[in-house]
Amino acid sequence: MTTPVNPVLREMRWWDIDPVLELEKDLFPEDAWSRGMFWSELAHSRGPEATRRYVVAEEGERIVGYAGLASAGELADIQTIAVARDHWGTGLGSVLLTELLRAATAFECAEVMLECRIDNIRAQKLYERFGFEAIGFRRGYYQPGNVDALVMRLTTASDSGSAAVSTSERGTEING
């Protein structure tokens, strides 16, 4: 395990799209998001009617991770979490996930859903540590590789009234 990082998290803005796309293409070569997909998501991330929260993690001038969440009513969906390969195992994935769960709480979401590649065991373990449970599959979800997705859900703890889960564990991050 490498040394834990203390990334600077901030809101993703339009000028971050190019460096985020570079990271996206490195991590997800078969099914990378397009520039238009990021523009569309960011268009819904500001103002009083915002339904999205996208953040980047910076180390110096370099973006080393990013994450995004969409909300609709009481349901939030984790759209993406990515961490640069040289930052795997540092806890940055946990930091990004924690920020998305804070956003879900701010959006007053009772449930948080996500899809995770069935072959991404590291990501699944991260989500399980945060309390996500597997609830099903989506066959052939990741294209063009025709890889199945594991659908996972985190339900708000009835006594806390928030989807944010605190954890002192750090380590495994998601890259797919």
Helices 121-129 and 92-106: crossing angle, nearest 10°? 50
State the amino acid at position 154 in one-letter form: L
Prediction pTM value? 0.84
> For residue range 33-88, what is the model confidence (pLDDT) as tens digits?
999 999 999 999 998 899 999 999 999 889 999 999 999 999 999 999 999 999 99
**Mean local confidence (pLDDT), 165-176:** 37
Provide the percentage of residues in the chain whose pLDDT is more than 90. Answer: 74
| Backbone φ, ψ for residue 142 (5° rounding) | -90, 115
Omega before 4 within 30 of 0, i.e. cis: no
Residue 7 has a pLDDT of 81
Q: Does the pLDDT of residue 160 top 80, yes or no?
A: no
pLDDT bracket for residue 172 (50, 70, 90): very low
CB count, 10 Å around CB of 15?
7
DSSP letter for 85, please: G
Residue 37 has a pLDDT of 95
CB count, 10 Å around CB of 28?
16
Residue 157 has a pLDDT of 55
Residue 176 has a pLDDT of 41
Task: Return mean pLDDT, the chain.
Answer: 87
**Mean local confidence (pLDDT), 124-136:** 95
Residue 163 has a pLDDT of 47
Question: How many CA atoms within 13 Å lie on the side-chain side of 137?
Answer: 7
168 vs 82, residue with greater confidence: 82
Residue 3 has a pLDDT of 52
How far, in Å, are 46, 70, 78, 139, 156 from residue 51 at the CA level? 8, 6, 12, 27, 19
Mean pLDDT lowest for which of 62-71, 87-96, 139-148?
139-148
